[in-house]
Amino acid sequence: MTATTFPATVSIDGDVAAGNMSINITQTSDAPLPPDPNPPTTGWEPPSWLRTDKDVVTIPNASAPPYLTRWQDPVFKSWITRITGDPGTPIKNISGATWGDVAGHHYSSDQAWSADGALLYLDKNNGSGAYALLLNGSNYEPISAVSGIPTDVRWHNTEPALMNAVTGSSLITWNPRSGAKQTIKDFGSQYTGLTFGGYEGSFSENGEMVVIMCQYAGQLTGFAYNVKTKEKGKNIWSSEVSSGICDNMRISSDGKYMLWGFDPDLLIITDLLGVKVTTLPEDFISHFDVITDQAGDACVCGRVNGDVGHSKSGRIGKYRLRDGQFTELSTGGWSYHTSTRCQTRRRWALSGAGNESGKYPPYNGELIMMELDGSKVYRLCHTHVPTSVDYKAETQASHSRDGGRAIFRTAWNRTGSTPRPVGDYVVDFRE
């Protein structure tokens, strides 16, 4: 519901009054929401040396760079820094802690850097003494171990020291350094199992709207919440939206739509009251993220999971939420997960193409960044992801807020169906 104010002259029983009138308008699915009239169009631009060609290139045979040492990709000339150490080795600056054989950031649709870029959050390390860590956001040195972690956390969009979190039946803010917590809203004990959309959702671009996924009255439920106005949306049971297993829910980038993901890859877009707006059938999109594009339209970007007619399997595509209009963003590669976390200025889609031995040319084992109008694909680096990976060893790259870096996960040329160790790397392609 939105409030609209306009000048009006009203006549009632012969008496005339002039002034301003304010009315509330409730959006319905048969009147699509308009795009944002002022989408970001300026900001950091990719440097001219980034490759955008479609030549097939060989992945160089290179060992993983030493911990915290900058290494230049010999093909694409960007700089890569390994930010997690060898398993069993001490974690610098944290007494008694050691690195595990799986360590890294959370997920592609989750921003890894704090609002000011000063901190980087790693949410997993299966070594000892530090399950989660805060790193320096620039040189990537460990700062501290993190304890007392709530159920699900996301960096606050504007407050650099804070994260938004859910714990118990409450939405809170949380300081990962001090452990301080402040309740935003306690929804009550009848709400259980709260997550940000099944651990895959994030807040709207302005940081005001979020979708909470939970159990209520014995059923899987989702609702929108506005942290600025303290307004809670309607409880919507997933079974009202579709049958089957709902494994993720999230808010659109503009805060106007709810996205409902049903296993394996059915995506339904509704308004905040649960009224269906658009349906993307099975295999149209998977492993996606949300964004507002250069035209001001709320969109979803992700992997096309099958040859569905308008694209090839494994490529990255963009769908406009209000009507499902499709734009192909990549023209090759078999991509894993998609990130659109650079949302402060100009924005792109980011994804890691798997090492498929050249079956999906030209992007093989590369990190790629795509213009949202489909006009260009930037080749950032080779990720040295093995040809055989489990879920933890997939790249799951996430774009930095500043646009010129990305964090990604890789087992760096290890072999076997469960390649280890898996660690985090940052590629820097700023001037």
Amino acid 298: pLDDT: 98
| pLDDT digit string, tens, across residues 154-171 | 999 999 999 999 999 999
Closest CA to 113 of 122, 126, 104, 125: 122
Amino acid 117: pLDDT: 97
CA distance 190 to 148: 23
CA distance 373 to 304: 16
Residue 277, pLDDT above cutoff 60: yes
Amino acid 307: pLDDT: 81
- Per DSSP, what are the bridge partners of residue 185? 171
Amino acid at 318: K
Percent pLDDT > 90 in the chain is 88
Closest CA to 284 of 260, 259, 309, 263: 309
Please report which confidence band the pLDDT of residue 31 belongs to, taking 50, 70 and 90 as the band edges: low
Task: Provide the pairing of β-strand 316-320 with 142-146.
Answer: unpaired
| pLDDT digit string, tens, across residues 39-72 | 777 889 999 999 999 999 999 999 999 999 999 9
Amino acid 19: pLDDT: 52
| pLDDT digit string, tens, across residues 368-413 | 999 999 999 999 999 999 999 999 999 999 999 999 999 999 999 9
Domain with CATH 2.130.10.10 in the chain: 151-282
| pLDDT digit string, tens, across residues 295-330 | 999 999 999 988 887 899 999 999 999 999 999 999
Q: What is the dihedral of CA 94, 401, 174, 185, to 10 degrees?
A: -160
**b/e sequence 50-68, b meaning 16+ C-beta within 10 Å:** ebeeeeebebeeeebbebe
Percent pLDDT > 70 in the chain is 91
CB 53 within 8 A of CB 46: no
How far out from the chain centre does Cα 377 lie?
A: 19
| Mean pLDDT score, 110-128 | 97
Rounded to two decimals, the pTM is 0.91
Quick check: helix, strand or coil at residue 79? strand
Amino acid 308: pLDDT: 83
CB 221 within 8 A of CB 173: no
CA atoms within 13 A on the CB side of 394: 17
Closest CA to 199 of 124, 257, 146, 300: 124
Amino acid at 227: V
Record: fold of 151-282: Methylamine Dehydrogenase; Chain H (2.130.10)
Q: Name the more confident of 32 and 417.
A: 417
Helical spans, DSSP H, in 185-304: 238-241
CB 301 within 8 A of CB 316: yes
Closest CA to 84 of 64, 63, 62: 64
Amino acid 273: pLDDT: 97
CB 288 within 8 A of CB 282: no
Q: Which two tokens stand for residue 249?
A: 């829910």
Q: Name the more confident of 370 and 25.
A: 370
CA distance 227 to 196: 13
Q: How is 369-422 classified by DSSP, letter by letter?
A: EEETTSS-EEEEEE----SS--GGGS---EE-TTSSEEEEEE-TT--SSS---B
